């Protein structure tokens, strides 16, 4: 049946001048386009859907025959006649949608049965994807029938009805946004400062290269305005008199522990007395102690950013790192002295896990995005088990 099924039984002991029937077969997701019948000889063959409507031919093969009644397909004793079903996969359209319906202007995905296709949530969800956590693809708007938890999912065989339209729903939840209040000062490339809420993607600010041990001017590659609402706000006071208001959570370079730590409402007291890297008036980092901290819920703005390549930013002098949901995506090498990666351990990791080239990721990111994400080092992230290849693809989609 060529992967199909059929109700009638046939194929044995058919006699000459005997009319026999062959039901049309069925196959899930396919349209039956008739039989190819081989093994015929030069005698007159009859076929049709009734005895009265039978037509004759002397062809030695028939193709595209949908008839169910046959007679005299061979005049040779013990000959073998082979019926091979011809199938065409059904086609259908898939519309990516969120719980509010199809995104305006979104083109459908043209699909065939048994042919997989990719669907990306960042091009689907009607909100700003960077402000949401992706939860899954579902076949219904009530999110009860899960298809995949991959942000960039590979799907197939969503219907068996030819020409139908299918909706695939992206479920996402608002992120617990984090960073600083809008009036927080950010150090620019020339050493001056400006408010966090006055910046935009492409602006050049000061950042720290942990590989070379040098300050660099880097463009803001990602920038989020998370909106004004009720947040956890942690006020941090340092020994140099500076005070920062952290919204929900943010990363600081803890010189006491020699690594980035994330300070939030649950742990701020744990870091009182720790020293943190802060840029002084001479353009070098000094160690500044956290001397006091408190927390309350309050209405606040919330802005966050990330720089190309280095990821970090100098916030009112402090070396900081934007919050990341999945550990290891930004801090995959161990630190040594001078706020730099340990060069020996770094080379050991590279020797062990290798490096990616742009060719490994060009299907998913532009060259500029690959460079901005330090794409060559994602081998370390995967090799150390922080993330899988699929996790990173989902994270990239969620950042756009």
Q: Which of 24-28, 200-204, 286-290, 326-330 has the highest mean pLDDT?
A: 286-290
Contact (Cβ atoms closer than 8 angstroms) between residue 169 and residue 137: yes
Residue 127 reports pLDDT greater than 50: no
Q: How far apart are CA 170 and CA 152, in angstroms?
A: 11
Domains of the chain: 19-89 (no CATH), 91-174 (2.60.40), 177-323 (2.170.16.10), 335-400 (no CATH)
> Which of 43-52, 88-97, 150-159, 164-173 shows the lowest per-residue confidence on average (mean pLDDT)?
164-173
pTM over 0.85: no
Residue 129 reports pLDDT greater than 70: no
> Which of 144-148, 214-218, 334-338, 381-385 shows the lowest per-residue confidence on average (mean pLDDT)?
381-385
Q: How far apart are CA 275 and CA 318, in angstroms?
A: 11
- Separation in Å, CA 199 to CA 182, 188, 204, 240, 303: 10, 10, 9, 26, 10
Is residue 388 very low, low, confident or very high in pLDDT (cuts 50, 70, 90)?
Answer: confident
Name the 3-class secondary structure at 382. helix
pLDDT tens, position by position, 337-351: 999 999 999 999 999
> Which of 7-11, 84-88, 264-268 shows the lowest per-residue confidence on average (mean pLDDT)?
7-11
Contact (Cβ atoms closer than 8 angstroms) between residue 84 and residue 39: no
| Residue that wins the pLDDT comparison between 309 and 327 | 309
Q: Which of 60-69, 193-202, 364-373, 390-399 has the highest mean pLDDT?
A: 193-202
Which structure tokens are listed for 146?
Answer: 């899960």
Please list the alpha-helical segments (H only) found in the chain.
343-353, 367-372, 378-383, 389-399
Which structure tokens are listed for 7?
Answer: 């109700």
Tell which residue, 395, 326, 327, 311, has the closest CA to residue 132: 395
Tell which residue, 268, 263, 359, has the closest CA to residue 315: 263
Contact (Cβ atoms closer than 8 angstroms) between residue 377 and residue 355: yes
Q: Kindly give, in sequence order, each residue whose CB lies less than 8 Å from that of residue 269, ignoring residues fewer than 6 positions away.
A: 293
Contact (Cβ atoms closer than 8 angstroms) between residue 281 and residue 191: no
Contact (Cβ atoms closer than 8 angstroms) between residue 38 and residue 61: yes
Q: What pLDDT was estimated at residue 210?
A: 93
Average pLDDT of every residue of the chain:
86
Residue 114 reports pLDDT greater than 80: yes
Tell which residue, 343, 313, 319, has the closest CA to residue 211: 343
């Amino acid at each position: 049946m060529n992967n199909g099924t059929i109700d009638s039984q046939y194929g044995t002991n058919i006699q000459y001048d005997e009319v026999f029937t062959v039901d049309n077969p069925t196959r899930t997701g396919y349209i039956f386009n008739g039989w190819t019948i081989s093994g015929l000889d030069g005698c007159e063959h009859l076929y049709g859907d009734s005895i009265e409507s039978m037509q004759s031919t002397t062809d030695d093969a028939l193709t595209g025959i949908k008839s169910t009644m046959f007679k005299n397909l061979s005049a040779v004793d013990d000959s073998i006649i082979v019926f091979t079903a011809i199938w065409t996969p059904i086609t259908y359209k898939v519309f990516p949608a969120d719980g509010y319906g199809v995104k305006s202007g979104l083109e459908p995905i043209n699909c065939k049965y048994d042919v997989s296709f990719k669907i990306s949530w960042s091009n689907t969800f009607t909100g700003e994807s960077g402000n949401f956590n992706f939860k899954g693809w579902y076949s219904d708007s009530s999110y009860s029938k899960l298809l995949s938890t991959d942000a960039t999912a590979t799907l197939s065989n969503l219907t068996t009805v030819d020409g139908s339209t299918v909706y695939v729903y992206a479920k996402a939840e608002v992120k617990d946004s984090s960073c600083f209040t809008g009036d927080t000062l950010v150090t620019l490339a020339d050493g001056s400062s400006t408010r966090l809420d006055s910046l935009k993607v492409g602006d050049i600010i000061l950042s720290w290269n942990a590989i070379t041990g040098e300050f660099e001017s880097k463009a803001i590659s990602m920038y989020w305005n998370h909106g004004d609402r009720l947040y956890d706000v942690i006020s941090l006071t340092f020994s140099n008199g500076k005070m920062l208001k952290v919204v929900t959570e943010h990363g600081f370079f803890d010189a006491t522990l020699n690594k980035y730590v994330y300070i939030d409402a649950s742990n701020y007291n744990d870091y009182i007395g720790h020293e943190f890297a802060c840029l002084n008036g001479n353009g070098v980092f000094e160690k500044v102690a956290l001397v006091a901290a408190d927390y309350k819920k309050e209405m606040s703005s919330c802005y966050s950013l990330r720089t190309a390549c280095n990821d970090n930013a100098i916030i009112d002098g402090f070396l900081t790192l934007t919050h990341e949901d999945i550990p290891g995506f930004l801090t995959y090498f161990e630190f040594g002295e001078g706020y730099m990666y340990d060069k020996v351990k770094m080379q050991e990791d590279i020797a062990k896990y290798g490096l990616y080239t742009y060719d490994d990721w060009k299907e998913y990111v532009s060259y500029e995005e690959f460079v901005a994400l330090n794409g060559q080092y994602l081998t370390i992230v995967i090799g150390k088990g922080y993330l899988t290849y699929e996790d990173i693809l989902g994270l990239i989609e969620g950042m756009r």
